[in-house]
Amino acid sequence: MRRAMASLAVLLCALTVTTACGSDSDGGSGGSTDPKVIKVTISGDSVTPNGERVDVAVGQEIQLDVTADEAGEIHVHSSPEQQLEYEAGTHTLTIQGIDKPGTVDVESHALDKVIVQLEVS
C-alpha cells in the first residue's frame, strides 16, 4: 500500500514535468500566432499524410514542408480557394489562415488524393 502511494507520487511528478517540457519544445500551445507546420511527402502516386485530420485555429497560418519527386500543385478548398505550386525537391509552402471554422480539404489533384483535412476551429 505504502509502495503504491509512493509510485503514484512519482507518476504525478513525471506527468507534471512532461507537461512543462511539452509546452516548451512542441510550440503548438502558443496559440494561433505560430504557423502550423505539416510535413508532406509526395512520391510517385503516393502522398504522406493521406487524408489525416489536422486541427488548426481560425486565422492560423499553415506551413507545408513539401518534399516531392515531381513538380505539382496543391489545392486548398478554402474560400477563396488557394493553389500552391511547387517544384521537385523540398519547399515550404504557406497556406493563408482560414477565417471561418469548418473542414477544409487540402488535395493533390494530380494524384486525386486528399493530403490533409484541416479542422478549423
Tell me how far, at minimum, the Cβ of 107 lies from Cu ion, in Å: 4
Span near Cu ion by CB under 5 A; candidates 21-29, 58-66, 99-107, 113-121: 99-107
Is 107 one of the binding residues for Cu ion (CB under 5 A)? yes
Length of the chain, please? Answer: 121
Q: How far apart are CA 115 and CA 107, in angstroms?
A: 5
- Fill in the per-residue mask, 56 to 75: x = in contact with Cu ion (CB under 5 A), - = not in contact: -------------------x
Nearest to Cu ion of 34, 49 (CB atom):
49
Which residue is at the shortest CB distance from Cu ion?
Answer: 75
In angstroms, the first-to-last Cα distance of the chain is 45
Closer residue to Cu ion in complex, CB, 60/108: 108
Q: How far is the CB of 80 from Cu ion (least distance, A)?
A: 13
Please give the sequence-ordered ranges of beta strands (E in DSSP) within 1-121, or none if there are none: 36-43, 46-48, 52-56, 62-68, 72-76, 82-86, 89-95, 102-108, 113-120
The window from 9-17, 29-37, 100-108, 111-119 that contacts Cu ion (CB under 5 A) reads: 100-108
Edge-to-edge strand list for the sheet holding 36-43: 46-48, 36-43, 62-68, 89-95
Q: Which three cell numbers stand for residue 41?
A: 511527402
Q: Hey, CA dihedral for 36, 41, 42, 46, is it positive or negative?
A: negative
Complex with Cu ion: residue 75 or 113, whichever CB lies closer: 75
Residues at the interface with Cu ion (CB under 5 A)? 75, 107
